[in-house]
Chain A
Amino acid sequence: MSPALATIVKLLSIIALMLTNGVFMIYLLRKVLGHLHIRLGPMHVGPHGLLQTMNDVIKLLTKEDLTPRIADKALFYLAPMIVFVPSFMAYLALPFSDTLKATSLETGLLFTFAALSVVPIGILLAGWSSGNKWGLLGGMRSAAMQIAYEVPLLLSVLPIVMISGTADLGGIVDAQAGTWLAVVPRWFITNPLLWPTFIIFVISSLIEANQTPFDMSEGESELVGGFGTDYSAMKFGLVYLSEFSNTFVISALGVTLFFGGWLVPWLPMSWYDAVPVLAPTVFILKTYLGIVLMWWIRGTYPRVRIDQLMDLGWKRLIPAALVMIVLTGVVDKLIVPLFTGAVS
């Protein structure tokens, strides 16, 4: 297959994945949140409401696209693009299996974070340009959230890069192959040294994905619709599609970094070659488990205040993440060699 054709195939399969994810995740979110609230969620369109989201897509496509009179027209049109394109690009480095990935960038981890961190800029622009006070407040809050989560998120995954010796997401998965003492899989979540790291990662990724304890940029109970108040039709649809897609990507990152990516514990490597669909299926199932966990938290906890979020980010998570980097280094270079006798 020629390289150009391969790129086109990758493009089309990733956009297809993103759209399918979006449609399915919205249905799943309604069902999960519904059952958490002891109600049924969508039930009427199709069996158990399965076609409800398809219906919503058609509705969004055929709704009138209104632009407020005093909106900054150019930015109002540009903002959904700035939100959508980076969250589409965040799929580039995800390893769905050993060979099934769009690119194998050596800086894959950093690339994914870079792509995701452009999204709040688009949200800020969306809120600011719509000429709406709710939107403006929501956009400014989104900028505040980025300031709170990005540094802890980047710092929290450093111990993993140190241990696996690569920032390529595929390489990080490879570093988790095998078992400790032939029993416990070598996933990074089974390493007690990385448990605090995992907690920091989970909290900052919830902020990154705008999930409810930290959804103050949208905050429908205080800001009407937040940054998206005056967005309608497909521009609204695209912004929310990329919100859901970011949730998927961040959960996929968590799976890749801590839960062994596409690996199944105790399964010999030859199985993945024998059954090519095994690895991507496992990866997507694990990712969806992570997403449901995020929604469980979303359905359970009340929203924090924005100054509490700042305190959490700067006074708790960043110092903790710095301590974890030093601790990982000390344990890895000084304490472990004491037992293995290989002081370098």
Chain B
Amino acid sequence: METVAMDHLAIGAFVLFGIAFVVLVVWVSNLLSPKGVDTPDRLEPYECGSEPVGPPWVQFRVGYYVYALLFVVFDIETVFLYPWAVVYGQMGVFILVEMVIFITILAAGLGYAWKEGALRWR
């Protein structure tokens, strides 16, 4: 129990240290680096030397929007499979039957999305 608490504390410590490291490195780099004079051209985004036309946040077709919706479902389903896989070895054949049913439903969903044309880049 003690080590589990320490492990989770270590995760928190790592997050804080990581943030501090990034701040420190960027700060040191800013101390060491020269500061040029800002002309209007210098701060333009780099588009191979020509002046940018229009705003940078252009609208374009996100070809993978339907994939993204499916991805959310499948990602969560996959995480559900992990607890099952961990206890799998300790249980009988029954746990296998259960999971075959679960995976069949998952595969049926994927097959349906495929047939309906959701898995097509457009």
Contacts and interface: CB of A to CB of B under 8 A. Distances in A.
B43 A235 contact: no
A326 B100 contact: yes
A314 B119 contact: yes
A77 B25 CA distance: 12
Nearest to B83: A167
Given A15-B17, A89-B11, A65 B33 contact: yes
Contacts of A238: 22, 25-26
A344 B92 contact: yes
A154 B3 contact: no
Contacts of A63: 29, 33
Contacts, number: 210
A295 interface: no
A123 interface: no
B1 interface: no
A167 B82 contact: yes
A154 B78 CA distance: 7
Given A310-B64, A326-B100, A165 B56 contact: no
A147 B25 contact: no
A133 interface: yes
B26 A329 contact: no
A110 B58 contact: no
A22 to B, nearest CB: 12
A158 B45 contact: no
A81 B19 contact: yes
Contacts of B15: 85, 89
B56 A133 contact: yes
Contact of B64 (A14, A147, A165, A315): A147
B34 A102 contact: no
A184 interface: no
Contacts of A61: 28-29, 32-33
A166 B43 contact: no
A15 B82 contact: no
Contacts of A234: 25-26, 28-29
Contacts of B21: 15, 84, 88
Interface string A81-106: 10011001100100000000011110
A136 interface: yes
- The number of chain B residues touching the other chain, given as a range, is 35 or more
B14 A88 contact: yes
A200 B18 CA distance: 31
A71 B44 CA distance: 9
A92 B62 CA distance: 35
Contacts of B112: none
Contact of A92 (B3, B14, B96): B14
A62 B32 contact: yes
A140 B14 contact: no
A154 B10 CA distance: 24
A165 B90 contact: yes
A227 interface: no
A3 interface: yes
Could you say which of A3, A71, A85, A307 has the most chain B C-beta atoms within 10 Å of its C-beta?
A85
Contacts of B9: 3, 7
Given A133-B58, A314-B119, A319-B107, A329 B99 contact: yes
Contacts of B11: 89, 92, 103
Nearest to B71: A147
B75 A151 contact: yes
A230 B57 contact: no
Contacts of B6: 3, 6-7, 103
Could you say which of A14, A143, A151, A224 has the most chain B C-beta atoms within 10 Å of its C-beta?
A151
A320 B120 CA distance: 19
23 contacts: A61-B32, A62-B33, A64-B35, A68-B43, A70-B55, A80-B26, A84-B18, A84-B21, A84-B22, A88-B18, A104-B3, A133-B47, A151-B74, A165-B87, A165-B90, A224-B46, A229-B45, A229-B46, A310-B64, A311-B121, A325-B99, A326-B99, A329-B99
Interface of B: 3, 6-7, 9-11, 13-15, 17-19, 21-23, 25-26, 28-30, 32-36, 40, 42-48, 52, 55-58, 62-64, 67-68, 70-71, 74-75, 78-79, 81-82, 85-90, 92-93, 96, 99-100, 103, 106-107, 110, 114, 119, 121
